[in-house]
Chain A
């Protein structure tokens, strides 16, 4: 039991008629970095509040370190939260901010100062002990909030969109630092974000949420390469979708009829049934242009409609010759002959295609 930092069991919560959490269950192993990813209104922040104790769910249980904490107040939980707006105490010095939790635990001022200093060193703000919050920049306040939450040595640290207010460069830098700090202190981190790049870069586990449900949960690689649902495929990274109908299933392979042809594709354990509508999800970098081979499914020809230079490569929006509604987005070489209006032959490696149930 103790190898689970957090165990959420069947939690449901409604705000008036809006369902914020719909029978959510998940486990967070001790010492891992978990990211809740989803659009606004997906329930990710509500789930964090439930774990932090700021919200008692209408049904379900929350276990932390194996103990039922569903109704326990935030102060009495082994969790602390880094708030989105940092919520530093504006009238206290940085040292007093970081030492506040220790003061509440009756630890003397000398030791508080030492431990606050250690925490500030950890987040790279060693010299800020006697400053006031308004003297620091946004990124520095963020670090103080982190140090303050870590100072009381929680089992689980909850971060509510901690990087949302920072500019892009600082955000990428802080991602790396958060991950490094997590490895150093070994505390379980749960981090809420709507930025899928951030989620992939930072999480050991990514939990994709939508409409109060967990859509997918796994390592970033697994979630990106083998998304469990259509929503996940569309939200975590870019993907092109080709609709099709299942003709027959045999031995883990499905015979699928699409506007671009008929393909035999491997399907996983959540195999669709014959007669069902499915969607083939293909990542931009998985398209192959103007090449053939045994393992390549030919998707027919398409016209380049739009071309965007993305540094390492070009991103092309294509219009398929046989199906007007299929507008795949494919990665093209950095330097090449492709131009708007040119015709290309499209293909994809058989193993890269993900077959998903159509969610309508």
Chain B
């Protein structure tokens, strides 16, 4: 046994190093958000919630938080809807140049957010759409729709096509097939893509930065806060962002994976 423990030690050390490498920055960020002092740097002078109170009382930050939530929910709903419809169309109908169409829909996954943001900025300028939360939302639909499409498309099998055929045989019209049969059957995939889109939209910075002006999302507001130097308040708001992301991921795990195990 002792011999085995010896051989296990490097593996344990390696695992700890990896997880430390990934999570240490977050731990430090969260830890110093409780700093009872003016600087988020060692030594830790004591624990306090005063910086969270400061965040709560900062109207601009709270507005940005609500803006971020709105953009995340709205753009994710749109991305799931468009992704679902395109997946349904490509999976169920004989379309010209199917492979090419599928490739074109998923292509934005490989383009950097900076390029997409710049492209949208120039396009919106030319068309006359002002910088706004809606513009940023459109940007998030552009980056998340391919992902939703890929997830939902992968879950559409031939077995389900037969079930849809049965619904049509029993008199269902196309919209009834989609709303009563296809979408409920794909519920886990729809849910998964919605929450994944939410997490990506929630902490997306570059596109929001380029496409918003007066009303901004939380990451953009944090960035302008950072320009005036480090202070535990930025740590506190960062911890809030991180906490909400964690909640989204946990909800995703619980709902989707529990669903998956049952069926």
Residues of A within 8 A of B (CB): 52-54, 73-76, 79-81, 83, 85, 87-91, 100-101, 104-105, 134, 148-149, 152
Contacts and interface: CB of A to CB of B under 8 A. Distances in A.
Nearest to A79: B169
A89 B169 contact: no
Given A91-B187, A134-B263, A83 B171 contact: no
Interface in B132-189: 159, 162-163, 165-173, 176, 181, 184-185, 187
Contacts of B181: 89
Given A85-B162, A104-B176, A90 B185 contact: yes
Interface of B: 159, 162-163, 165-173, 176, 181, 184-185, 187, 263
Nearest to A75: B171
Given A54-B165, A85-B162, A87-B165, A152 B184 contact: no
A83 B184 contact: no
B169 A80 contact: yes
B166 A83 contact: yes
B263 A74 contact: no
Nearest first, the 9 A-B pairs at minimum CB distance are A101-B170, A104-B171, A87-B166, A74-B169, A91-B184, A87-B162, A87-B163, A75-B171, A104-B172
B263 to A, nearest CB: 7
Contact of B170 (A90, A134, A152): A152
Contacts of A88: 163, 166
A275 B165 CA distance: 53
A103 to B, nearest CB: 8
A306 B263 CA distance: 50
A189 to B, nearest CB: 16
Contacts of B169: 52-54, 74-75, 79-81, 149
B163 A89 contact: yes
A251 to B, nearest CB: 54
A54 B164 CA distance: 12
Given A91-B184, A152-B171, A83 B176 contact: no
A252 to B, nearest CB: 49
Given A91-B184, A105-B171, A152-B170, 10 more contacts: A53-B169, A75-B168, A76-B171, A81-B169, A83-B162, A85-B162, A89-B185, A91-B187, A100-B170, A104-B170
Contacts, number: 61
A101 B171 contact: yes
Nearest to B176: A104
Given A89-B163, A91-B185, A91-B187, A75 B263 contact: no
A152 B165 CA distance: 16
A233 B159 CA distance: 36
B166 A90 contact: no
A93 to B, nearest CB: 12
A152 B170 CA distance: 8
Nearest to A106: B171
A90 B171 contact: no
A80 B167 CA distance: 10
B261 to A, nearest CB: 12
A91 B185 CA distance: 6
Contacts of A105: 171
B131 to A, nearest CB: 43
17 contacts: A52-B169, A73-B168, A74-B169, A79-B169, A80-B169, A80-B170, A83-B162, A87-B159, A87-B162, A89-B166, A89-B167, A90-B163, A100-B167, A101-B170, A104-B170, A104-B172, A134-B263
Contacts of A54: 165, 169
B187 A75 contact: no
A53 B263 CA distance: 32
A75 B165 CA distance: 10
Taking each of B169, B184, B263, which has the highest tally of chain A beta carbons within 10 Å of its own beta carbon?
B169
